[in-house]
Structure formats: structure tokens, C-alpha cells
Amino acid sequence: MSRNTVFNEFVLKFGTVNGSGSASANFLCAKVLFRMGLPVSAKNIFPSNIQGLPTWYEIRVSEAGHMARRAGIDVMVAMNPQSYKRDAAEVVPGGTLIYDSTLERRFDRDDIQVIGIPIARLCAEHWTDSRQRQLFKNMIYVGSLISLLGLDDGVVEQLITEQFKSKPKLIEPNLKALHIGRDYARDNIDTPIAVRARMSDKTAGKILMTGNEAAGLGALYAGATVATWYPITPSTSLVENFERHASKLRRTEDGRHNAAVVQAEDELAAVGMAIGASWNGARAFTATSGPGISLMAEFIGLAYFAEIPLVLFDVQRGGPSTGMPTRTQQSDILTCAYASHGDTVHILLLPGDPGECFTMSVDAFDIADRYQTPVFVMSDLDIGMNDWVIDELTWDDSRKLDRGKVLDAAALDAVAEFARYRDVDGDGIPYRTLPGTHPTKGSYFTRGTSHTDTGGYTEDGRLHAQMLERIKYKIEGAAAHLPKPVIDIRDPEARLAIVNFGSTDPAVREGLEELDREGHVMNHMRLRAFPFAQEVRDFAEAHDYLFVIEQNRDSQMRHLLMTEADILGPKLIAVPNIDGMPLTAAFVREFVLQALRRLPGYGEASRIVAQ
Amino acid sequence: MTHIVKPQFRHPRLATNSQGLTRRDYEGVISTLCAGCGHDSVTAAIVEACFELELPAHRVAKMSGIGCSSKTTNYFLNYSHGFNSVHGRMPSVATGANLANRELTYLGVSGDGDTASIGIGQFVHAVRRRVNMLYICENNGTYGLTKGQFSATNDRASKNRKGLDTPFDSIDLCNMAIELGAGFVARSFSGDKAQLVPLIKAGIRYKGFALIDVISPCVTFNNHTTSTKSYEYVRDHNHMIGRLDLVETSAEIEADYAPGTSADVTLHDGSQMRFTKLDESYDPTNRETILPALERYRQRGEVATGLLYLDKREADLHELIGTPDQPLNEIDERALVPGSGPLAAINAAHR
């Protein structure tokens, strides 16, 4: 390796064909780097297709801990002739492109290093079966990275052994392919590449997990027993993970498990079932994405108005309409905040990583039960489907589920009169009962029509207004008990700040550091829930301008901040990003710098920080 | 519609059943439907059936959609929880409720707008999933609350009150349910309480999806001489294919049936359904022959009523997906929350 080699800070990208088995090989590389003690951020950039189209997998390695996506590829493993041209174009000058040179070709880039490995030929020499020839290509390029990039032999072999634990026959041929790639690169490639991985210790106490798995686990730990859903990218793996873990961790003595998972006929039925189950006292949820939310809207209004707890996971993708099903976006914010016709306002939780998908998933069930209302967990494709490095999940065994105000038979006997929708405690939250509880007390009629405080039908405008006002008061009361915004005062004197939420956080934090180095010190607030806590208003009050960064065209969160937190529009500078890719720090930095030039008095660097 | 509670006074010697409840205890608030509405007769039949079955009223969940028929769940079983959901979506809400607690009795009432139009997809899948419930469709061939539009169960031969007919064929809910695997499919007439009460009792006792399609005339919008869902038409064209009785395990089985024409079926709870054939050629347990037989009645312009189909294998959604015997909403949180130990193992698997 050369003296200028950069260690442990690089982006490695794979360009492959979907359906060719490359996904597991690529994930293997991410996991190897993670096990080598390196923080990794892995982004799967895939088509809405089953087989044959280009697909990519980006791994950013950053010992310094920058986990946002970064443009500019240091090492491109280009295994798909369909995408050679654009793959080569993405490599940074001085970077490396590795390709299958069985068919040699030129890449029209004399500023990058091109490494050819005759992968198909090597496979043909060692295997006769056509399927094996195809599959082992993947392991050959992984093997080459041992020699070229410094993937650790021992870690790779250990992971392969673990991966095929249940199919031990596959271990040996995979190791063979790995070694073919490793040895070919070692023996035939002389020039070192500009970046390299070496062992570190930055991932102690960390795990690599997707948000959908974490959210599914959260539902399991929240005691959810009914999951009803309709398959839709990118939410599908959430319920699948719930079911997979439930089948192990909720197993009964006779081999069944304490959960019911039903794949519904559509999203309307999925949410209807969740509402029915929740009404009947089970913790129930559904998971979907934007198109599903649109279909569920009518039922969401029913749950809001009839005050039925409901947990919905919206793993957002590119809209409108079918949009970009396999790209990330945060464009369901307004749809969810006000889902359904009439006056409705809903609680949104805004996880910033898979770790928060777990904690907020558990919290969502408590909040839904406490406030008897729908609660949305607003994840997105980037958090939901990509593997993130997060702190180990933790659980406090003394935690009790908060099932809210539910009267059992004894409590019903003790009350003089039960009125389902009466505000007894002054907090706007009424008491509910479950069907089948008491022979003569506590039954009521659940309806989406306007109702009296005992659940009777009414067309009395005064009672209707009282009901709507009470529900509004109830939801407003929740604001103080939702996850608080994460506020980072980087300089108490700073007049500017960045506001964001969800998966954009790694890019925003990295961007803040870059701006900081250039003399623009800004404070930072990451929103974690809607309705907004008082802290959100106070933070806005304390700054002259706030850049509101969000992945949608119409600056939906900015709208919410204006209308629901009464923050003046001119103070809130919209920073929309809608290309469907995970946000980069470069985008944040460039957008903010450009905007600063238009803000009189703020464009000059406010403080130069010594490097 | 207003919410009118009935007066509480009653005759001091009103008979009580084993639950200590009188017939009145199975009633609800006062109906606000039009005088003479077929739906009110169905309500009365439900009250009678639940009283005779001696159901603990609070262990019944009443599920409905939107429309005149769906309002009726407020007119019976005051001690039960009711759920008037959204238009056509009662089946999914009932499915979810049933998933949460398999031990309650689920009684769904909807109309032909809910069942054959806006919610036909949900109806179809509730049948297919064998949700353990009795689904009563109060079928009047018309949209009453919006003033008399045709519904999808309206026959081509039938005209609306303005004398117009529909260009489309009607949907036969019973045929569809039989095709889809409903275990218990019956058709009845709101004006025939003697037939309807035993059907409701048997449908409640049946484990799996039970449908009773009740032709229930709309006196305001679809009871004219050119309607096939009028009192007059159904009385004239009703062809009862058999009589059904439900014999509780505790009751003595009466033997007043003509030999060779009756068949007993024991239900999962031990009670017996006794089916007496009035039409020798009709066998409600034979799926192969019933659809052609029903088609013959239809071609003759007859409305076949009675138990049309019975699948003796009683199985419901819970058995099909293997949920535990204990209702999911009653499982203690200690059995549901895995705790920190398993989480440590999950963490380890993600390193």
C-alpha cells in the first residue's frame, strides 16, 4: 500500500443485477467491516423489480462516525454491464473501479484505477453447474476485496460459517470462491488502491439493524398480539419481523404462539381489523406506506372520533401516487397529521434511526392506549430497510405497559354511572370498557356518527361541538408527554439553527460540523413528535432563522410548524430534498450556504473555528 | 334518528331464562326505522333467538356497517357492546375483534349496500377466512337512507318506485358465500319469524362463518307491486326448501318429523341442528348439487328459503391460523413481553 493510503474513511459501492444473489454478498461485506470495528452505513438502492434490473449497494465506512450517505465513490465494484457507464462516472478521481474482465472493456476514465478480475472465467474453471457459476461470482468479488481493500480474512470466513450454519454443505464452496477471488487479486494486482480498511474498535456496544426489524421488535415488546397488514414496499419486512420474532419469543407450550398475524385483502381491511382488535382490548397495529395511508384514511377518522387506540407504522416512500416505491421520502407528514375528513389531528412519532424505531414503537402503544387515539410511527425507507449502526437495544424489565383508562368489572361496580365519552378527570381522556366485561354495566355503542357522552346518537350541534373540543383538548394534552425534541446548542449566541426529523439526522449533523468549520455555527433541533412540545416553540423563539430540512417538495413540516406551533413563516427557511436518496451532508452544507447569501447580515462566517 | 331509551318498567312475572334475563333484557333502544320496516322484524327475531339460546347478553359483540340495517344493532341487546363502523367495512372490524377475543359471540348485521357493493371485498374475505360470526344481511334491494337508489341485489325483473328497472343482474349473496366456502348459508324472509328464529339460533351456534340473507322489505322505497323484494312478492314466491330447528343439548328432542326426511347434525358445542326437508331433492350438505338446484328455483321465479348450505366441518379462523386457546386480549403481559434476556440474544445476533 502507498504512503497516501486513506484508512477507514471511504465509500464502497456495488453495482449488480437484482435477483442474482448479490444482496447477501454485499451485506456480508458491510457486516465484515462492522465486525472489524468500523462504523458502516449501508444503503440498498434497488429497483421495484424482481430480477434483471440494475441494483446498487453503498457502504460508507467512517471511523469518525459519519453515517450519512456520501456521494463520490472510492471503490466501485461494477458487476453489471448495464450500468457500467454511470457506475464509472460516480467514481472519484483517484478512485478504483473493479469489474469482471472476462470480457475486457474500456471505461473512458483515465483519472481512475480500473482493476479487471476475470470473475466469470474463474467461475467457469471451477464450477460446471450454471447456477453455481452465477452465484459464486458474488463470493469471488468479496474475496478480491480481502486483498484489495483489506477485508479481514478471519472475519469474512467466520461470517460465512455463521451465515450457512443451517446449510453446512454450502460453507466449503463459498469459502473456495472467496479464496479464488482473494488469491487472484493478491497474485495479479500490483498497484494498491487509495483507500483501505483496517481493524478498529469503534463498534463496541453497537449492533447493525434495520428500522423495520427494530419496529417489529418494539411491537413485540409492547405486547402487541394482533398484526394486520397488506404487503407494500417498504413496510413489508416490519410485520414479517414481528411474526418471525413472535414465533420464537411468544411460543406457547403446544407450539402455537401468542400473536395473530393476518395478511388482509387490502389496507382498508388491514386497518379495520387493527381497529376491531384494539377496540376489543388487544394491542393491535398495522404497517404500511403512503398509498396504504390514503386507503386507510376513512377508518383513521373513525378511530379518532370513536376514540379507539390504534398504532400505524408508515414507512414512507417516494410519492405522490405509486411514486418511487423503492426510494425514500418524508412526504406523508401532512397526510398523516390530518388523516381523514373533518377535523382530525393525529399524534406522530418521528424516529431518527432504528434504535428509535424500537423505543418509539413501544411508546406508540402506550400513547395510543393512554390517549385512545391513532398514533403514527413515521419511519421511512432509509431507516426501515437499510442496516444502521445503532446502540444495542435495551429493555427495562420493570417497565409496565400503560393500558390507559380501562374499567374492569370491579371498577364498573364501583362507579355510579358509566359514560364512555365523559371527561371525568379534566384531562379530556374518558374511560373505556371492553366487550364482555360486566353483565349489566359498561356496555356502550361505538359509532362514527356524532354522539353524546354516553355514546348515543345526536344531532345536537352543541353536543357535537363539545365532543370535538374535548378530543382536541385531549390530543393537545398529549404534546407534553411525547418524545421531546433533541436540541443541540452548539453556541448559545448562534442566531441560526437547523431543524430536521427522522432519517436525515446523520447528514444534518455532519453538515453542521462542516458549516461549523467554515465559520457558520448553528444550533440544531431534531423534532421527535407532533403535536409539538413547548420546547419547539421556545427554540424557534430563540433564533432568527431556522432551516427546516425535510425530504418532501412542499415543506410539509414547515407548514406544521407555522400552523401548529405559530412560528412565523419568514423565519422558517424551507430546505426540501426530493431525489429519493438518503440525504448527504454536502446537500445540507451547499443549500444552507446558498441560502445564507440571501440573508442580509448572516452570509459572513460568524466565527472561524481553528482547525 | 334519535337515541330513545325504552321505559324500564315491565310485567313483574315476565319469564326469565337461565341467565336471569327476560326477553326485555335482550332488547335495545326504540327503533327509529319506518313503521313496518322488515328490519324491525329481524330485530325481534334476534331478541327472541338470543333469549331462547339463553346467551349471556354482555358476551355478545354487535357489529355493523352503515345504513338502515346497521342502525338496528342499537335496537337489541342493550347489555352488549355495539360497533357501528364505516360503510361496508364491518367484516374487517368484526375479524379484528374476533382475533382479539375468540370467546365472545359475534353478531354482525349489515345491509345489501354494505355487503354487495361498497364492502363486497370485505364480505368475501371474511367468508373465506371463516371468521366465527353470524352475519345477517338485511336485504331490501335498495338504498333507503339516500332515498331509494337500486342496490346490487336488486333483480333485473324488479322496478324501482318510479317504474325504472336496472340494466344489471343482481348479486346473489348466498350463492357467492357457498362458492367461497361459508359453512352455514341460509336465506329467509323478515316476515317469517317461525323460520328466522331457529336459523338465527343455529347460525349463532355454528362455529365458522354463518350467513343469513334475510329479504327484508323496505316499506318506503321498495314495497311496490313491481318490486321482487316486497312483502307481497316474497310471500307469493317463497319456496321453503326445509325447516330447521336447533335442539339444545339439554332439551328433549321432539320427534314430530316425517321419517326419512329429517337429518340431525351435531354442532361443536353438542347442540343439534335438525333439518327437515320439504323438498326431497334438496340436500343442503351436498355442495355439488345445491348450486344447480338453487338456479332451478331462480329460473322458476321462486325465492328458495331455509338452510341452503351446511358444511359439517366446523372450523374457524383461529383454528386455521393456529392462535392459542386463551383469548389474545387476556394474555398476561408477562407472557407477551420477552424481557431483557432475549433482547441480549437478539443484540448478539446483530453484531
Task: Residue B246: name the closest of B261, B260, B262, B267 by CA.
Answer: B267
By CA distance, what is B20's nearest residue in A? A439
Domain stop point among A196, A224, A245:
A196
Confidence grade of residue B1 (pLDDT, cut at 50, 70, 90): very low
Report the mean per-residue pLDDT for chain A.
96
Nearest CB to A268 within list B56, B63, B92: B92
What percent of chain A lies above the pLDDT cut of 90? 96
At residue A268, does pLDDT exceed 70? yes
Residue that terminates a domain, selected from A445, A463, A480: A480
Q: B79 — contact with chain A (CB < 8 Å)?
A: yes
Residue A377 grid cell: 410511527
User: Residue A550: which H helix or E strand, with range?
Assistant: strand A545-550
Question: Is B10 within a domain?
Answer: no
Residue A319 covered by a domain: yes
Contacts of B101 in chain A (CB under 8 A): 280-282, 435-436
Inter-chain touch B81–A435, beta carbons under 8 Å: yes
Average pLDDT over residues A28-34: 98
pLDDT in tens, A222-241: 999 999 999 999 999 999 99
Q: How confident is the model at residue B164 (pLDDT cuts 50, 70, 90)?
A: confident
Residues A475 and A491 in one domain: no
Determine the 3-state secondary structure of B181 from DSSP: coil
* Residues B329-349: tens digit of each pLDDT: 999 999 999 999 999 999 999
> What is the identity of the amino acid at A203?
T
pLDDT of residue A7: 98
Tell which of A159, A230, A298, A443 to mutate to test the B interface (max B CBs under 10 Å).
A443
Interface A:B, Cβ pairs < 8 A: 221
3-state secondary structure of B81: strand
Q: What part of B 126-165 touches A (C-beta under 8 Å)?
A: 129
Report the pLDDT averaged over residues B177-192: 94
B12 or A550, which is more confident?
A550
In this predicted structure, the answer to whether residue B325 has a pLDDT above a threshold of 70 is yes
Q: Looking at the predicted structure, is the pLDDT value of residue B104 above 50?
A: yes
**Does residue A490 form part of some domain?**
yes
Please list every residue in chain B whose beta carbon sits closer than 8 Å to the beta carbon of residue A432: none
**C-alpha distance from residue B49 to each of A127, A395, B45, B231 (Å):** 73, 51, 6, 22
Which chain B residues are Cβ-neighbours of A259 within 8 angstroms? 323, 328
Q: What is the pLDDT of residue B259?
A: 45
A344 and A417 assigned to the same domain: no
* B267-272 contact pairs (CB < 8 A, 24+): B267/B202, B267/B205, B267/B206, B267/B207, B267/B314, B268/B207, B268/B314, B269/B205, B269/B207, B271/B205, B271/B246, B271/B247, B272/B246, B272/B247
Considering the domain architecture, whether residues A455 and A540 belong to the same structural domain is answered as no
Predicted confidence at residue A15, as pLDDT, reads: 97
Taking chain B, what is the end-to-end CA distance rounded to the nearest angstrom? 62
Q: Which of A245, A273, A304, A369 to mutate to test the interface with B (most CBs of B within 10 A)?
A: A273
Cα distance from B258 to chain A (closest Cα, Å)? 42
B contacts of A207 (beta carbons < 8 Å):
347, 350-351
Answer whether residue A401 is part of any domain.
no
Query: Are A249 and A268 in the same domain?
Result: yes
CATH classification of the domain holding A122: 3.40.920.10
> How far is A44 from chain B, CA to nearest CA, in Å?
18
Segment A89-116, tens digit of pLDDT: 999 999 999 999 999 999 999 999 999 9
Q: In this structure, what CATH number is given to the domain that contains residue B138? A: 3.40.50.970
Residue A170 within any structural domain of the chain: yes
Same-domain pairing of A122 and A230: no
In a domain, B18, yes or no: no
Per the structure, the count of domains in chain B is 1
Question: Residues of B with CB below 8 A from A436's CB?
Answer: 58-59, 61, 81, 101, 103-104
Is B250's pLDDT higher than 80?
A: no
Can you give the CATH number for the domain in which A541 is found? 3.40.50.920
CB of B17 within 8 Å of any CB in chain A?
no
User: B262-296 pLDDT, tens per residue?
Assistant: 677 888 888 888 877 778 788 898 988 999 999 99
Q: What residues in A contact B129, CB-CB < 8 Å?
A: 262
Task: Look at residue A188 in the predicted model and tell me its pLDDT.
Answer: 97
Query: In chain A, whose CA is at the least distance from the CA of B335?
Result: A250
Which residue from A63, A66, A526 is spatially nearest to A330, judged by alpha carbons? A526
For the segment B187-207, the average pLDDT, to the nearest whole number, is 96
Residue B342 lies in a domain: no
Q: Greater confidence, A52 or A269? A: A269
Could you tell me the pLDDT band of residue B301, with boundaries at 50, 70 and 90?
confident
Give the pLDDT score at A605: 63
B83 contacts A277? CB cut-off 8 A = no
Residue A608 scores a pLDDT above 50:
no
Q: What is the mean pLDDT of residues A44-58?
A: 93
Q: Which helix (H) or strand (E) segment is A134 a member of?
A: helix A130-149
d(CA A230, CA A217): 19
* pLDDT at A590 exceeding the cut of 50: yes
Q: Mean of the pLDDT values across residues B215-239? A: 92
Q: Are the beta carbons of B338 and A435 separated by less than 8 Å?
A: no
Is pLDDT at B58 greater than 50 in this prediction? yes
Q: How far apart are CA A198 and CA A33, in angstroms?
A: 9
Residues B27-55, mean pLDDT to the nearest whole number: 96
pLDDT band at B254 (very low <50, low <70, confident <90, very high): very low
- pLDDT at residue A500 above 90? yes
Helix (H) or strand (E) holding A559: helix A556-565
Domain that includes residue A414, residue range: 409-480
pLDDT for the residue numbered B281: 82
With an 8 Å Cβ cutoff, are A443 and B74 in contact?
A: no
Q: How confident is the model at residue A467 (pLDDT cuts 50, 70, 90)?
A: very high
The confidence score (pLDDT) of residue B279 equals 81
Are A377 and A270 contained in the same domain? yes
A269 to B92: CB separation less than 8 angstroms, yes or no = yes
pLDDT band with cut points at 50, 70 and 90 for residue A221: very high
- Tell me the β-bridge partners of A525: A487, A499
CA A99 to chain centre: 32
Using CB atoms within 10 A of its CB, is residue A417 exposed (0-12), middle (13-18) or buried (19+)?
A: exposed
Q: Does residue B106 fall inside a structural domain? A: yes
Give the model's confidence band at A5: pLDDT under 50 very low, under 70 low, under 90 confident, else very high.
very high
The answer to whether the Cβ–Cβ distance between B338 and A250 falls below 8 Å is: yes
Which of these, B265, B310, B267, lies nearest to B286 by C-alpha position? B310
Å between B36 CA and nearest CA of chain A: 22
Is pLDDT above 90 for B226? Answer: no
Please indicate, yes or no, if residue A350 is contained in any of the structural domains.
Answer: yes
Residues A490, A476: one domain? Answer: no
pLDDT of residue A128: 95
pLDDT at site A611: 37
Give the pLDDT mean for A294-311: 98
Tell me how many degrees the CA angle A239-A240-A246 measures, rounded to the nearest 5. 85
Q: Are residues A184 and A242 in the same domain?
A: no
Tell me whether residue B338 is in a domain. Answer: no
**Residue A532 reports pLDDT greater than 50:** yes
Domain-located, residue A611: no
Is A609 domain-assigned? no
Distance from CA of A109 to the nearest CA of B (A): 38
Number of domains in chain A: 4
Residue A264 falls inside a structural domain: yes
* Whole-number Å distance between alpha carbons of B202 and B307: 10
Domain that holds residue B29: 23-333
Distance of residue A299 Cα from the nearest chain B Cα, in angstroms: 7
Chain B (22-41) residues lying within 8 Å, Cβ to Cβ, of chain A: 29
List the 202-261 stretch of B: residues with Cβ below 8 A of A.
none
Do A56 and A153 belong together in one domain? yes
A391, A421, A451 - which closes a domain? A391
Do A296 and A215 reside in the same domain of the chain? Answer: yes
